[in-house]
Structure 1
Amino acid sequence: MTCTHTIHSRHCHHGWDNKNTPALRIAPGESISFDTVDSSGGQLSARSTLADLAVLDFSKVNPVTGPVYIDGAEPGDAVKVTLLEFGPSGWGWTANIPGFGLLADQFKEPALHIWSYDAKALTPALYGPGGRVPLKPFCGTIGLAPAEPGLHSVVPPRRMGGNLDIRDLAAGAELYLPVEVKGALFSVGDTHAAQGDGEVCGTAIESPCTVAAKFDLIKGANLAFPRFTTPGPVTRHLDMKGYEVTTGVGPDLMAGARAAVSGMIEVLGKRYNMAAVDAYMLCSVCGDLRISEIVDMPNWVVSFYFPRIVLE
């Protein structure tokens, strides 16, 4: 897709800061093709091994390309970002990083899986321990600069967006972000080839992609938080053969989420003779955590949906 502008991956930063110098200034209605770096900041590659994961420098993770100054954007407005197209690279990685992830206390040893996939056909990617994962490229981190001064980590999501890790921010989605500073200062990165809702082990199929996006300005929108629309169904790439579902029930949603994921890891291990850490990483890239019930006090229900199409 031909865009009005291109920003190359060398124009990246490792923290949100409203003093970051814009890489580009645009008018509403213009489009940009962004070249992104994977969430390791280029420290991992298609040839990486577990030894490379062990020396990962976390000060370099989650770089985002930008920022972009949007003419006329003022606090109280919203930037409408239409995600036009993704250009996948054909490779990616998924890792269990000690101390990170929903079940970090259970999975204390590092693990790494390198993916290779057809960047044009986007046929399901082979998972070494078993299965093929349907792909759906999207951007994990997408947002604007915060009003609060200083440098802020890209890792946690924020009111103005950031590391949202919403797998439905794929091609065709329209995202509305609340503006906190003049010019908005938009950046994007952390692209994924696939991810389940929840990204439970802490990583998806981390895969560098180009991102084509169009920008519009909604004056006086006064959004409290980001919102978005999708162009159609969001699970069609996974729905065909149904799901295996495990649950967690109790008064604590986080404990329920942990129980539901642990239950699915046990199911996959027993049924497919899969090592627990391999099942954990596979759940992260294609399984979905859902709040099934949050009104029947004092106990809530969290469910974990694993698509059977991956292993059948």
Structure 2
Amino acid sequence: MCAGDDHNCPDFEQHRQKFLENLGADRRTFLKSALLTAGGAAGFGASSLVGPALAQVSAAHQPAQRAFHYLPATDETVHWGYFSKTLKPKIEINSGDLVTIEALTHHAADDMERMVKGDPGAESVYLWTKDRKGVNRRGAGPEDASLFGRGAGEGLGVHICTGPVYVRGAEPGDVLEVRILDVVPRPCANPAFAGKAFGSNAAAWWGFHYKDLITEPKTREVITIYEIDATGERNWAQAVYNFRWTPQTDPFGVVHPTIDYPGVPVDHSTVVENHDVLKGIRVPVRPHFGVIGLAPKEADMVDSIPPSYTGGNIDNWRIGKGATMYYPVAVDGALLSVGDPHASQGDSELCGTAIECSLTGTFQIILHKKADLPGTALEGLEHPMLETQNEWLVHGFSYANYLEELGGDAQSAIYDKSSVDLALRDAFRKMRHFLMTTQGLTEDEAISLITVSADFGITQVVDGNWGVHAIIRKDIFAGRA
């Protein structure tokens, strides 16, 4: 009998939906049990930035019964390439609720057979015929493509973001705690590749490497398709093949000489697939979300590429299962969106992308009210912060809030003004502030400790607003009262 896996079954869609519902029920039971075992809101981390007092106060604002929500990725639930405080929420949740969110990669059109075919949600998002697109606007640019003629939104912002999620009671000045409880790959729905998932890595024109190529042709974009085991039995990815981008004509008749507009379906009859690549290489899989962010207040339509004070495209591979992110709330409801899922990425994301692979994440969302923050580690938080079981991380950017700092043309100026030096300076200042305010250190003590104990890394140099993160281990403070 078909269990939602036989595409030839006349009742395939009905059986697949039942399978997903049953899977959802099993996952809900597992997560609720895990949450109770962990002690609920106060027990996620023994050394959490949210101490017992704040956890108790924040829990008092939550309903007695936590709800579980599921937000699939479809043409009705995603926004492509931008954040906006004007977006209508797709779901509303209470503080403390759990929500599973499907996130689609914006590079799935690099291999539609492996990453779109047979998947109703992905097919609805990637639908593009000569008559219409499933999701028309792709980017924060003009709807009429009057700047470059590339398409609605002009590709000024590229990520498929699921949401937004409206958090009841969230107001500017509050802090949103986002716990990542689970991350799983989205299995390929094409029966030819059962049990597998796939991702794409594009060494593209916006990559840090692009003007430093040494072999001919020296202006080339190369896409490598990777395979991941969707069953979870294998924790590494392997390359399947690569190809050089050739000018692609989209279904509306627009020619794309480079990768300049998201979701353009690649016609594989125009490219040469090289299947003899990275033989014997096993890339460790560390699934994470390149984009988790709240809506900023500064503009109605904000490019999804540069990260900023409300999060967004941070591209830190540590933002995966077991991690917690903290974000300052800028607009009512917070308006949380999730996208840019990655199977794996190294610090810097040097060539422009990671292994861009669709994932599904389960999150617990906790709201901390501004009035409850004085005297806590979250008081005055003005930037996204990451916490793992063993570490605290601050994220520095070339411009901490580029939308405010660079004025009316910020969304274009940021691409010309970023530098690692500026991002490093911002990360240092944030870590210094963190140590002085949360650990009670003097400035001199903080500077010495940063120098001898903190690790600075280049998060990414490809997202317009470049990023440097600073990491401090929690066990350094184990001897303090």
TM-score, structure 1 normalization: 0.69
Which residue in 1 is equivalent to 2:440?
Answer: none
8 A contact 2:173–2:329 mirrored in 1: yes
Instruction: Provide the identity percentage.
Output: 33
Which residue in 1 is equivalent to 2:383?
Answer: 225
Give 3-state SS (helix, strand or coil) of 2:220's partner: coil
Moved more, 147-156 or 114-123: 114-123
Which residue in 2 is equivalent to 1:5?
Answer: 69
2:91 is matched by which residue type in structure 1? L
Equivalent residue in structure 2 for 1:165, among 294, 315, 319: 315
Q: Superposition pairs for residues 58-97 of structure 1, below 5 Å?
A: 58=155, 61-89=158-186, 90-97=197-204
Q: Aligned residues, how many?
A: 236
8 A contact 2:290–2:342 mirrored in 1: yes
Q: Superposition pairs for residues 103-142 of structure 1, below 5 Å?
A: 103-107=209-213, 108-119=219-230, 120-127=232-239, 128-130=277-279, 131-142=281-292
Deviation at 1:186, TM superposition (A): 0.3
Q: Distance in 2 between matches of 1:81 and 1:101?
A: 30
8 A contact 1:46–1:92 mirrored in 2: no
TM-score, structure 2 normalization: 0.46
1:212 and 1:30, CA in 2 relative to 1: closer, same or farther beyond 3 A?
same
Deviation at 1:60, TM superposition (A): 7.3
Q: Distance in 1 between matches of 2:157 and 2:332?
A: 27
Give 3-state SS (helix, strand or coil) of 2:212's partner: coil
8 A contact 1:26–1:68 mirrored in 2: yes
Give 3-state SS (helix, strand or coil) of 1:213's partner: strand
Q: Superposition pairs for residues 4-83 of structure 1, below 5 Å?
A: 4-10=68-74, 11-14=77-80, 15-40=82-107, 42-45=108-111, 47=113, 58=155, 61-83=158-180
2:387 pairs with 1:290 = no
2:110 is matched by which residue type in structure 1? L
Which residue in 2 is equivalent to 1:282?
Answer: none
8 A contact 1:123–1:135 mirrored in 2: yes
The structure, 1 or 2, with the larger RCO (C-alpha pairs under 8 Å, 6+ apart) is: 1
1:39 and 1:232, CA in 2 relative to 1: closer, same or farther beyond 3 A?
farther
Which residue in 2 is equivalent to 1:262?
Answer: none
Deviation at 1:232, TM superposition (A): 4.3
Q: Distance in 2 between matches of 1:176 and 1:183?
A: 15
8 A contact 1:197–1:289 mirrored in 2: no
Q: Distance in 1 between matches of 2:305 and 2:364?
A: 25
Q: Distance in 1 between matches of 2:228 and 2:288?
A: 15
Deviation at 1:198, TM superposition (A): 1.0
1:91 and 1:24, CA in 2 relative to 1: closer, same or farther beyond 3 A?
same
Which residue in 2 is equivalent to 1:265?
Answer: none
**Which structure features the higher share of strand residues?**
1
Unmatched 5+ stretches in structure 1:
49-54, 235-251, 258-287, 292-301, 303-312
Deviation at 1:136, TM superposition (A): 0.6
8 A contact 1:78–1:178 mirrored in 2: yes
Q: Distance in 2 between matches of 1:182 and 1:289?
A: 34
Moved over 6 A (4+): none
8 A contact 2:157–2:304 mirrored in 1: no
8 A contact 2:157–2:303 mirrored in 1: no
8 A contact 2:157–2:305 mirrored in 1: no
Which residue in 1 is equivalent to 2:208?
Answer: 102
8 A contact 2:288–2:317 mirrored in 1: yes
After superposition, what is the alpha-carbon deviation per residue over 1:198-243, rounded to whole angstroms, capped at 9, x for unaligned? 1111100100000110000111243110111112489xxxxxxxxx
Deviation at 1:149, TM superposition (A): 2.8
Give 3-state SS (helix, strand or coil) of 1:141's partner: strand
Aligned alpha-carbon RMSD (Å): 2.8
**Which structure features the higher share of helix residues?**
2
2:352 pairs with 1:202 = yes
Q: Distance in 2 between matches of 1:229 and 1:8?
A: 27
Unmatched 5+ stretches in structure 2:
1-26, 32-67, 115-149, 187-196, 214-218, 240-276, 371-378, 393-418, 425-454, 459-467, 469-481
After superposition, what is the alpha-carbon deviation per residue over 1:172-196, rounded to whole angstroms, capped at 9, x for unaligned? 1011001000110000010100111
Equivalent residue in structure 2 for 1:150, among 285, 300, 315: 300
Deviation at 1:45, TM superposition (A): 2.9
